[in-house]
Structure 1
């Protein structure tokens, strides 16, 4: 979609949210009822346009567009106006950006959704006990929230998120919640080992979706370690498990068939079974058919996945390439934090921090949609090219600040390209968590 259409669509969306501002303000009928320097629209748009500068520089850049700096609102006044708005306004804006162009991309008839989570460091606040970490070995204290995301790999956009306090995080429950609430049709959920769970598999199965989940290898203590598997390095087998909470003598005889029956203790969550079995009643079973596939990554290294994709349509080699596509969500987290600016918040209050978080997600989706322009690939070049995300973020920000027109933005995005170099990998470097303090920002 051309930038001018996206630009107008986002502005229209904000105007529509503003027209229903009674649903998104703390005190309905009182907040934003009088004409002030900072309107409801300006509050939303200014947060979308924020980057890593000081709050004063953000206000100066946004509100100096028309009046030349006269009547510039103070930092205090700006924060007071923002505090009148509920997070729901920014959540609605984010939801509007999940399918801006209205054209969902498919892989063999399926949407590809990667599921993952990432810690987000917010301004240090010792009073917020659910996110506060005191630090160890001389490390400074910090606060963390956990972002659980469902990411469309082919359109490079976030489709849904669940934000949790770090001390109360539950990635598997968050994924189940996002799956249950989604309106997407056929989809394949691709996830790593953190989502190895019969309950997650059951929720995706009940949704009518497919899943491809990496699990602990055959020597671990995960799902496949309790199955009877072939004595081979690589294999692709089908199993059909019937889960039950019944642990009677008759049921224990069934459990000897490890590939078809499984006992689920009361402390293990499986939402489609009763919480406990009744001694006088017959066993209740829940059926989960799936494949266990083990394939070679490189010499001496293997990965094991479970999936309910058909064996004929998706052979093991295709699953290997499909799972590799999950890495797109990892690179999106990097762009979200370091290019869009999710590491730089402008308030200590968690509610205002969450406003900015959803604004960053919306801006990421906007940039991704604008960057999906078809590029003219030159055959003489060694590599294919794609839009430079860092430059695209800067161009889109200037567009929404009315510094450049949409036509100019489109031309700049098309010119801002970088080569695509496949099959490259780098070791992750561990680093200590250092919050970007309010006083150490770019002016």
Structure 2
């Protein structure tokens, strides 16, 4: 359940920093609608039509103002950097004490369940968006206007902890590593289980989560870790995944590579067979 008062507090707090979130000289004290107004409007608009949404907002919250045109609304929102809404979301989680253990949030046996995944999305097909997301045509083929959205979210409580919009060609694993780095101060890693699908079987990912003192579940393909699976005596018996030189070569983070080059003979993780 969203706490509206805390949402508004988060908006008012974050929008104080105009330089960080505004392109050009806009939303100053002389403006009829402040950055907080625009953030509130864009966060809660009903997505009917842009004109009806702005009419409803002005009528309800700023009745002393004339209703701006749809063209004005469209132009003004282009001056707002998307990171504003990411930071409002993070501030909101901070204000509701998301990191703390309390009875407000749902858990699974005392653990928060956080899942990570990425999907491709169609975006408006304009020259500006094609340039922004590095969409290049070939002589014979016009590529569709697409981007990739990657996120990590608390699946029991419905919170997106972080989202990244990237080029549609962006690999999912580097984005997940970035998420884990960015949200580590927002969570209690000892009470968090990370869940990933078949696109994320990577030793470096396991290593990062282990170094966070956190836990993970990854659904594996049938042809993953075949040699280790041969040592299983029953369907749900644990196996050890050892760091090898070949596996270490695939590490990209120099700090993690250094740590695990010294742990070549150590067990990295336990796996359980899952024949789904």
Q: Which bracket does the TM-score occupy, shorter chain normalised? A: 0.7 to 0.9
Structure-2 residue corresponding to 1:393: none
Is residue 157 of structure 2 the alignment partner of residue 155 of structure 1? yes
Does structure 1 residue 238 correspond to structure 2 residue 221? no
* Cα contact 1:38–1:78 (8 A) shared by 2: no
Contact 1:24 1:89 in 2 (8 A): yes
Structure 1 gaps, min length 5: 245-262, 275-282, 296-301, 304-443
Task: Give the conservation status (yes or no) of the 8 Å contact 2:232–2:238.
Answer: no
1:17-53 Cα offsets, whole Å, 9 max, x none, are 23332432223xx432243333222211111123433
Distance 1:47 1:15 in 2: 14
Matched, 1:171 2:172: yes
> Take 1:284 and 1:9, find their aligned partners in 2: how far apart are those partners?
46
Q: TM-score, normalised by structure 1?
A: 0.51
**CA displacement at 1:13 relative to structure 2:** 2.0
Partner residue in 2 for 1:269: 251
Partner of 1:143: 145
> TM-score by structure 2 length?
0.79
Q: 2:21 and 2:122 mapped to 1: Cα distance?
A: 26
Q: 1:106-121 residue pairs with structure 2 within 5 A? A: 106-121=107-122
Aligned-pair distance for 1:104?
4.2
The match for 2:205 is: 200
- Secondary structure of the 1:47 match is helix
Larger Rg: 1
Contact 1:116 1:150 (C-alpha < 8 Å) held by counterparts = yes
Residue 288 of structure 1 and its aligned partner are, at CA, apart by 4.2
User: Conserved in 2, the CA contact under 8 Å of 1:176 and 1:204?
Assistant: no
The answer as to whether partners of 1:180 and 1:207 remain within 8 angstroms in 2 is no
Q: How does 1:352-431 map to 2 (within 5 A)?
A: none
In the alignment, does 2:107 pair up with 1:74? Answer: no
Q: Do structure 1's residue 8 and structure 2's residue 9 form an aligned pair?
A: no
The verdict on how the C-alpha distance between 1:33 and 1:97 changes in structure 2, with shifts beyond 3 A counting, is closer
Alignment of 1:312-351 (within 5 A): none
Structure 2, unmatched stretches of 5+, are 98-103
Task: Return closer, same or farther for 1:52/1:131 CA change in 2, 3 Å cut-off.
Answer: farther
Give the C-alpha shift of residue 105 in structure 1: 3.7
> Which residue is equivalent to 2:50?
55
Aligned position for 1:291? 270
Higher relative contact order (CA 8 A, sep 6+): 1
* Structure 1 residues 265 and 96, CA gap change in structure 2 (3 angstroms): closer
Deviations 1:108-150 (A, max 9, x none): 332211111222322122551536487xxx9x96422222111
How many equivalent pairs are there?
257
* Inter-partner Cα distance in structure 1 for 2:179 and 2:271: 25
* Separation (CA, whole Å) in 2 of partners of 1:288 and 1:160: 30
2: CA distance, partners of 1:10 / 1:90 = 11
